[in-house]
Structure 1
Amino acid sequence: MAKQPMLKFVSVSRDMPEKRGADARNQDFDEIYAEFAAAKAEEQASRCSQCGVPYCQSHCPLHNNIPDWLRLTATGRLEEAYQVSQATNTFPEICGRICPQDRLCEGNCVIEQSGHGTVTIGAVEKYITDTAWENGWVKPVTPTLERKESVGVIGAGPGGLAAADMLRRAGVQVTVYDRYDRGGGLLTYGIPGFKLEKDVVMRRMEQLEKSGVSFVMNCNVGDDITFAEIREKHDRVIIATGVYKTRELTQDGAGAQGIVRAIDYLTASNKVSNFGDTVAEFDSGELNAKGKKVVVVGGGDTAMDCVRTAIRQGAESVKCLYRRDRANMPGSQREVQNAEEEGVEFVWLSNPLDFAGEPVKQLTIQKMRLGAPDASGRQSPELIEGSDYVEEADLVIKALGFEPEDLPTLWDQPELAVTRWGTIRAEFGTGKTSLDGVYAIGDIVRGASLVVWAIRDGRDCAAALLEDLNMKAAVAAE
């Protein structure tokens, strides 16, 4: 009788890839988790219960066939596991590294609910695709038939790249426009290397280029080329710009030198630490935490990226202010734990009252408590009278989230409909906007969200766009 390869959660404990010690990882921007060895990946994949209703799959935005590729991994059929993984996810090696699995697939694992510890889905997903790259199983797209239709994609982030990949597989001619000098969007310049090493992103960019996707870099739509010109060049256009406008601090003194945007700080760090670029603001110290007392305001994943980057840059101290408590913060709890191990101090239930100095030298901090729930159901922070105190700071980083830019004005497209939040109004599931032949996906539609949702939007939009092109071709042929 064949040996049962799965359901080993009752006899095999949950195990993660080895994590480098804090003292070692604080010295560089390399990823902090080691790779699974083949035997360990098979062992951990074998813990899957192969349940009849896989909640891991249903709670994944891409509905990845997780039980299937876990079983294939457990039985040593890695190339097949990669093919199953790639079928629903354009960038599985990226999602395996940066998805908040604790809130998505792993957080809904059935055996986790029964007290056995979740399957380490993200680590296995990363292992499968890294192995596929090493063995040459990941190949450029070769369409069986080239089509004459052309699509322009504005934004080389995960959503735009996912759409470009799917369209090229169908033989569509694709040109991607992006404001930066390298593709990847926040994957390249927003997320630090210790979470996502940049060669992982760059090899995907190279694969897309070899697949026939054209890239126009250092191209700011509205300045270097108009939106109308892009529409004129292409049969269809996809807007995938993301959201880059920073929510600002409004307290007295918030405009002082030394109070900087998270996106500027992280972009400078990524350019210097991962690519060896020269960045004047980094060299001058403006966007460099070395030797400084750093305060980061915010509690999301961007704030976690900032505090952990500051530690690696050699900050004298790093504190994170968040107006709610640990249980109510939006960032990943795994990231909070990593940051604490690395020396970050979290100041829960606190908010800045004002800033003093030019450049900034200190800020007054107000202590808070949680009161009645707000409209979203979360408890609203309330001031504790008389609890203010002063904290020294040489560098304050604003990590309060992102808002959409005013694209109808910037691009001279007043008829492009937006929501009351400033995001583009787009049809659910297809991305169709109020402009004929124009689609929108990702954060510019959803607001600041997860990479995996942008990938889902890109793939769904590409499918809807192809259906439109096919219908148009069918009508023309009649």
Structure 2
Amino acid sequence: MAKQRMLQFVKVGKQMPEKRDADARAHDFDEIYGEFADAKAAEQSSRCSQCGVPYCQSHCPLHNNIPDWLRLTAEGRLQEAYDLSQLTNTFPEICGRICPQDRLCEGNCVIEQSGHGTVTIGAVEKYITDTAWERGWVKAIAPAEERSESVAVIGAGPGGLAAADSLRRAGVQVTVYDRYDRAGGLLTYGIPGFKLEKDVVTRRNKQLEDGGVTFVLNCNVGEDITFAEIRQKHDAVVIATGVYKSRDLQGPGSGAKGIVRAIDFLTASNRKNFGDAVPEYDNGELNAAGRKVVVIGGGDTAMDCVRTAIRQGAESVKCLYRRDRANMPGSQREVQNAEEEGVVFEWLTAPKGFAGDPVTGVMVQRMRLGAPDASGRQSPEVIEGADYVEDADLVIKALGFEPEELPTLWGEKALEVTRWGTVKADFRTHETTIPAVYAVGDIVRGASLVVWAIRDGREAAEAILERFAMQKASVAAE
């Protein structure tokens, strides 16, 4: 009788890959989780219940075929597991590292709901593709035939790169334009190395380049090349610029020196770790070393900031968030990691103003949760007379991001936007109000997850290929 390899959750407990000691990891930017060994990956995959309605899959934006590649991993059929994993996900090893699995696949795992502890889906996903790279299973893109159609992708973040990958595999000529000197967008400059080591991103960029994708870097659309010129050069355009305009703080003293944007702080840190010259880091403007740091915000960007500040040698790091722990938008796993590393969270607090210039403190008002707002979450209310001052000589604003005014920046009034400034695009095809111009990721959704950007990029590529097929059929009919 064949050995039962699955449904082992009744005998085998949940186990994550080994996590490095907090004191050790707080001094470098290396990833904090180790790799599963083959036997451990198989063991943890075997805990999957193979349920008839896989909620892990339905709650994944890419609808990854999770139960099947868990079963293949449990059976030791790793190359087949990799082949199945990459069918639905352009960058599985990246999603395995940075997706908030506790809110998506793992948070909806059936055995998690029944009290047995979730299958560690993200860790297995990372393991499968890292193993594929090590064993040479990941090949350069090699289209079956080259096509004459050309597509421009504006923005080399996850959405743009996912579209570029899908289009290039179909033989389309793809050119990616990006304002930065390295491709990857927030994967390269926004997310710290302790969550996503940069060689993981650079090898994907190289795979795209080796497969025939052309990168035009240090190129600011609207300045170095116009949007009209890009449209003239290509048969279709994908807008994947992301959202980089930081939400601002109001209140007395909000313009003081020492109050900085999260994106500037994180980019400077990542550039320094690349070995770049970063004057703003070296002169202390964007360097937390020896300083009392206060980060304002409760999302994943705030978690990246507090944990980066710890690694830079801050004297103290505190995070102010206006709701409580249960209602914060960031990953609970990230909060736990931050606390282990020495970050102090001040729940139910919000800035009222700032003292000093350069800043010496944050004027804080205490909050309580009142009635639910339109989203169903309880709205924070100020507790009168409970204000206090939190000492700080570096304040980092991590309040989220808003879209830049693309129609104005690019001189393209025909590009319609919503009242929030995001680009209007069809929910299925991602085509904008300009024919043959598509938009994906955060520039459509607002600040969101990498996995949603990947999904959008893949869907837009599919719609563009359908467009090209229809055009070809129309020409043949004439």
Q: Which residue of 2 aligns with 1:226?
A: 226
Alpha-carbon separation, structure 1, partners of 2:77 and 2:361: 58
Give the distance between the partners of 1:78 and 1:390, measured in 2 at CA: 55
For 1:227-266, list aligned pairs within 5 A: 227-266=227-266
Question: Which residue in 2 is equivalent to 1:423?
Answer: 422
Which residue number in structure 1 is paired with residue 109 of structure 2?
A: 109
Alignment match, 1:132: 132
2:167 is aligned with 1:177: no
How far has the Cα of 1:392 moved from its partner? 1.3
Amino acid at match of 2:357: E
Question: Which digits, 9 at most, give the CA deviation of each residue in 1:191-236, with x for residues without a partner?
Answer: 0000000000000000000000000000010111110010011000
- Residues of 2 paired with 1:114 and 1:368: CA distance? 35
Q: Classify the secondary structure of the residue corresponding to 2:423.
A: coil
User: How many equivalent residue pairs?
Assistant: 477
Classify the secondary structure of the residue corresponding to 1:464.
Answer: helix
- Return the TM-score normalized by structure 1: 0.99
Deviations 1:156-177 (A, max 9, x none): 0000000000000100000000
Matched, 1:372 2:375: no
Q: Which residue of 2 aligns with 1:321?
A: 320
Structure 1 equivalent of residue 455 of structure 2: 456
Shift of 1:67: 0.6
Which residue of structure 1 aligns with residue 215 of structure 2?
215
> In structure 2, the residue corresponding to 1:260 is in which secondary structure?
strand
Structure 2 distance, partners of 1:411, 1:33, is 42
How far is the alpha carbon of 1:87 from its aligned partner?
A: 0.3
> Residue 189 of structure 1: CA displacement?
0.4
Counterpart CA distance in 2 for 1:470 and 1:198 is 37
Equivalence for 2:401: 402
Residue type at the aligned position of 1:72: L
Partners of 1:127 and 1:375 lie apart in 2 by: 40
Counterpart of 2:42 in structure 1 is 42
Equivalent positions of 1:269-418 (< 5 A) are 269-273=269-273, 275-418=274-417
User: Equivalent residue for 1:473?
Assistant: 472
Structure 1: tracts of 5 or more residues without a match: none
Question: What is the identity, as a one-letter code, of the residue corresponding to 1:437?
Answer: A
Instruction: Say which is worse superposed, 352-361 or 208-217, in terms of deviation.
Output: 352-361
Amino acid across the alignment from 1:392: D
1:121-142 CA-to-partner distances (Å, cap 9, x unmatched) read 0000000000000000001110
Distance 1:389 1:166 in 2: 53
Output the amino acid matched with 1:278: A
Look up the match of 1:87: 87
Alignment RMSD (CA, Å): 0.6
Query: 1:431 Cα deviation (Å)?
Result: 0.6
Q: Percent identity?
A: 79
Q: Cα distance, 1:444 vs. partner?
A: 0.2
Counterpart amino acid of residue 58 in structure 1:
S
Q: How far apart in 2 are the matches of 1:236 and 1:263? A: 30
In 2, Cα distance between the equivalents of 1:444 and 1:393? 33
Q: What residue identity is the alignment partner of 2:455?
A: R
Per-residue displacement from partner, 1:337-372 (whole Å, max 9, x unpaired)?
000000000001111111121111112111111111
Counterpart residue identity of residue 373, structure 2:
D
User: 1:98 and 1:204 mapped to 2: Cα distance?
Assistant: 16
Q: Alignment partner of 1:29: what SS?
A: coil
Aligned position for 1:164: 164
For the pair 1:31 / 2:20, whether they are aligned, the reply is: no
How far, CA to CA, are the matches of 1:248 and 1:114 in structure 2? 43
* Distance (whole Å) between structure 2 residues aligned to residue 301 and residue 113 of structure 1: 24
SS in structure 2 at match of 1:152: strand
SS at match of 2:455: helix
SS at structure 2 position matched to 1:139: coil
Asked whether 1:198 is paired with 2:185, we answer: no
| Counterpart in the other structure of 1:150 | 150
SS of structure 2 residue aligned to 1:138: coil
Letter of the 1:130 partner, please give it.
D
User: For the residues of structure 1 that align with 2:65 and 2:468, how far apart are their CA atoms?
Assistant: 29
Counterpart residue identity of residue 460, structure 1 = E
Deviation at 1:48, TM superposition (A): 0.6
**5+ residue gaps in structure 2?**
none
In the alignment, is residue 7 of structure 1 matched against residue 33 of structure 2?
Answer: no
Deviations 1:284-311 (A, max 9, x none): 1000000000000000000000000000
Displaced runs of 4 or more, over 3 A? none
- Partner secondary structure for residue 476 of structure 1: helix
